[in-house]
Amino acid sequence: MATSSSDDDGESSASFKVKIIVIAIFLSSFLILFSARNKSHSAKNVFVEMKSQSVTEKQLVMPTDATRAKKKKKIYLTFDDGPNDGTMNVLNILKEENVPATFFIVGEHVFMSKEQATTWDSLLHAKNIELCNHSYTHANNRYQKFYKDPKKVVQDIELTKEKLLPDNDIVRAPGRNAWRIDSLHFTDIKKSKAAIDSLQSAGFIVMGWDLEWHYNPKTFVLKSSADQLFKQVKALFDKKKTRVPDNLVLLAHDQVYNSKKDSMQLREFVQKIKQSEEYELSIVSNYPAIRATDSTRHKP
């Protein structure tokens, strides 16, 4: 009996140990599973936090990029009446400063001397330079008589186109601030209106100016410094007084820059534009109204 009792106790003890082992294995498995889930959840939280941080960083960076990409106001630097004595000085400054500009050419000036013909050739081969039509005779400076006959005005402009600028229809009327670009119409002296209208009817784009760099017509000395002109430009933009918003056409006359003093003022003005974060220089064929007109005219 004693032996039987001892065997029962052994079996009972072994059964109890098995149960303990099973419970331990179950608890261990549960703890491993619970730990894995916590790690997964923690990793997910870290990913969400990283993603959130990434979005926040992008949100912080984007305004800076937008500020850097701010669209600049355009200034179209234009020179009338060349080629003449001051033209090469102007061209050399533009080349050295590596900026674009537009010259409105008087046709007969190209053929008046070897020097002017050479200057014309330099203009033709210069980078960043656009050449447009400023008539053939410049009305012989007798504007009232010139504009009385619209037919002769068109013929005069067409002569420069035929001889020098066959692929360019952009014109500046001599002695007149007149505009005929699609629906942009303006004539400073109303007696000239019929003649200016005739230019548009003949297929020309007539461009005036928003601001002139004035000079003394007797001494050819500038009336304002580069700094003063820069302030005038800023005032026109600020007051929204240009023909097309954020675009300003500046008229200058290259014969003025035959002197070193005035040439220095031109260089200083160009440098001010280059250093500005608000403005940039361009050629007149990039003027918004002209681009819109050209796209319409060239549609099949």
Tell me, yes or no, whether 50 and 93 share the same domain.
no
Q: What is the model's pLDDT at position 231? A: 98
Tell me, yes or no, whether 105 and 180 share the same domain.
yes
Tell me the H-state helices in 187-225.
Answer: 193-201
Tell me, yes or no, whether 129 and 202 share the same domain.
yes
Tell me, yes or no, whether 79 and 213 share the same domain.
yes
**Among 47, 70, 93, where does a domain finish?**
70
Encoded amino acid at 30, one letter: F
In angstroms, the Cα distances linking 228 to 86, 224, 258 are: 22, 6, 20
**Among 70, 92, 119, where does a domain finish?**
70
User: For the chain, how many structural domains are there in total?
Assistant: 2
Crossing angle between the packed helical segments 226-238 and 260-275, to the nearest 10 degrees = 40
Tell me, yes or no, whether 98 and 238 share the same domain.
yes
Q: Which residue, 84, 118, 111, is CA-closest to 254?
A: 84
Three-state DSSP at 102 gives strand
pTM for the whole structure: 0.77
Encoded amino acid at 232, one letter: Q
Tell me the H-state helices in 111-259.
Answer: 114-124, 143-146, 150-163, 193-201, 226-238
Q: What is the model's pLDDT at position 295? A: 52
Question: Cα(298)–Cα(300) distance, rounded to whole angstroms?
Answer: 6
Question: Cα(34)–Cα(40) distance, rounded to whole angstroms?
Answer: 10
pLDDT averaged per 10 residues in sequence order, the chain, 300 residues:
42 53 58 51 43 40 50 97 97 98 98 98 97 98 97 98 98 98 95 98 98 96 98 98 98 96 98 97 97 57
Question: Cα(229)–Cα(270) distance, rounded to whole angstroms?
Answer: 11
Answer whether residue 272 is part of any domain.
yes
> Rounded to a whole number, what is the distance in angstroms from the first to the last CA of the chain?
120
Element (DSSP H or E) covering residue 250? strand 247-253
